Amino acid sequence: MGRDPAVFTRTYDETLDMIVEARNYMAHADARERRSRGGQTDLRFSCEALRVTSRLTQVMAWLMLQRAVQEGEISAEEACLEGNRLSGQDVCLDTVGVADGNLPSGLRSLLERSYHLYQRVSRLEQMVLTRVDKRSLN
């Protein structure tokens, strides 16, 4: 993970907290509101809820790989292989749901925050890839 694992630890904790929040929200918070808005909005809600889940799953998987590197369980080079990189950009970088006023504000908040988290982790990944590439050249 590099010299500053605290950045990854804080991001890991933030991601885990958001996963729990999203789970609780999807299970309880807006069930009545979703039902009262009708089928079309319920389908849209489900699609955007899956987008939140995809972002958080991608981020958590990547962070767990970085933790494995920090613990010496795998090499940084192995963690940077194509199959171990952050993926799902087509789904995860779509922001259309944030502006959809038909969606509950709680879901829009999760959409926005998970998007920013995904972007931040994408930048961390680029930093890690650059660092590993530089080490490989030496």
The count of structural domains within the chain is 1
Residue 129 belongs to domain spanning: 5-137
Burial category of 129 from C-beta neighbours within 10 Å (exposed 0-12, middle 13-18, buried 19 and up): middle
Which tokens hold the place of 137?
A: 């050249």
Q: What is the pLDDT of residues 17-42, one digit of tens each?
A: 999 999 999 988 656 665 556 566 78
Instruction: With beta carbons less than 8 A apart as the criterion, state whether 29 and 106 touch.
Output: yes
Distance CA 112, CA 98 (A): 6
Say which CATH number the domain at 65 has.
1.10.8.930
Q: What is the pLDDT of residues 58-80, one digit of tens each?
A: 999 999 999 999 999 999 999 99
Residue 82 is classified by DSSP as: G
Query: Would you say the pTM of this structure is higher than 0.85?
Result: yes
Measured in degrees and rounded to the nearest 5, phi and psi for residue 106 equal: -65, -40
